[in-house]
Structure 1
């Protein structure tokens, strides 16, 4: 209610200003029409901050990502499958997972995979203040840097949840916020064939897609090799997130597609 009252007052002052200018012979054309002014205010107030769900590119490539927040039993097998297929991926790590499984983190880093920030404690970050969000980001960041020397700049919000404040605060901390447009649904544990079909026949799979898996999903170790080979048979190069997103200035459209500013 206060927002619309503010709009009403601003319109009132614009109208008053136009009247005064007209009275002294300057004319109303020196100020924008009230309707345009109001539209500009509304647009500025309602613009949403979005993470990167996929990337605009003419290159036939996709990015594979894993969220690591719970167990670690399958880490060696996943790394071997990726290596066998000559694929580099991105692992989004929670701070407490880093603390609990430092050897696995070192193995992932040594294999050349991206390390990404998945927060320190896996909270619902849209409920946090900017200060609390920063603490979550920096807690994980410092844990990874101390262990591997790597300064991360990729962030995936836990549960895929975010709001404007989460995205802005992540950016202020030097992070690209990354979602996905192809969900393997491996967390649903529907079986190997279901997971393979979910990825390879996904309606959003295309140039610049970002694929979501989890490092501890029940059927992913059995499905991953077939998925990687299937993606390559479709002509896709499989790269980590850092090699698919655009650096520098960019915009994100309403579908979450990252578009470089020069496009």
Structure 2
């Protein structure tokens, strides 16, 4: 049994394990390097500790089940194309950013995305850090500017901060120049406040036109993810007729609290995780697939 564990553990322990390994001669005569018993024991102990921490975190935050761990991201990124019916004229031929609701994948994963930045709940940051659940934020400046530091803490925890316009307008009702100010202006805010320029953009309400995509492309946007489901503190909404979660679906929620929902951000996370975990889905990081 220990030899089987050794073979499984080689990749996880990395190249340095060779210094603490012993040689095994398989039937074919080729020598294999396998970690020594001490290295295997340390690796197994690390796995047990990580699992114990996840179990404890799930219990602490009131989850029904321990969230599943997503598989490693693909070495080759999937091809992202605009969803049928979401195109503008000559969309792909003109190199406009793809608009999509689902990432093509065979893995049983979904992606959590959170919009606007209104609610700034410290318990939410603690919960997501404890549970180690990845998510992607799309921010609007008029809501985040009263507490940029909250989202700096989020960024420090590995969350990518993306563009949701300066003021959350209905973009198709604006001129190209006005749309460009909204989108490129938010690019500048995020770069100045957080040190990076986003490549992901989500139009407010999911509404856009040709000018939206042209403006977004002009200031560095490469992808326009929208969503297939939306989760609240007390319910789910669905885009598809079957009202089911699918592999690679993008799930939308918002930074909201009791003023807008019958619950808190942690309540929303419980609603989200309890459902996806019960249906056998893990939560993956959207940027790893784009």
TM-score range, shorter-chain basis? 0.5 to 0.7
The CA deviation at 1:162 is: 1.0
Structure-2 change in CA distance of 1:138 and 1:169 (3 Å) = closer
Is the partner of 1:64 in helix, strand or coil? strand
What's the offset of the Cα at 1:61? Answer: 1.3
Give the equivalent residue in structure 2 for 1:36: none
Contact in 1 for aligned 2:88/2:209 (Cα 8 Å): no
Residue 214 of structure 1 is matched in structure 2 by 254
Question: Which structure has the larger Rg over C-alpha atoms?
Answer: 1
Task: State the TM-score, normalized to the length of structure 1.
Answer: 0.65
The match for 1:182 is 229
Gaps of 5+ in 1: 1-43, 187-191, 247-263
**Where in structure 2 are the equivalents of 1:72-83 lying within 5 Å?**
72=120, 74=121, 76-83=122-129
Partner of 2:285: 240
- Structure 1 runs (4+) greater than 3 angstroms displaced: 44-50
Scaled by the length of structure 2, the TM-score of the pair is 0.59
SS at match of 1:155: coil
Match of 2:27 in 1: none
Matched, 1:166 2:206: no
Say how many residue pairs are matched.
191
1:51 to 2:99 alignment:
yes
More relative contact order, 1 or 2 (CA 8 Å, 6+ apart): 1
Please list every run of 5 or more consecutive structure 2 residues that lacks an aligned counterpart in the other structure: 1-86
Distance 1:208 1:45, change over 3 A: closer
1:111 aligns with 2:157: yes
- Cα distance in 1 for partners of 2:135, 2:100 equals 17
* Alpha-carbon distance in 1 for matches of 2:101, 2:281: 18
SS in 1 for 2:113: strand
| Deviation of the 1:138 alpha carbon | 1.9
What CA RMSD, in Å, does the superposition of the two structures yield over aligned residues? Answer: 2.6
Q: Identify, as 1 or 2, the structure richer in helix.
A: 1
1:151 aligned residue = 197
Q: Is the 8 A contact 2:134 2:285 kept in 1?
A: yes
How far off its partner does 1:105 sit?
1.4
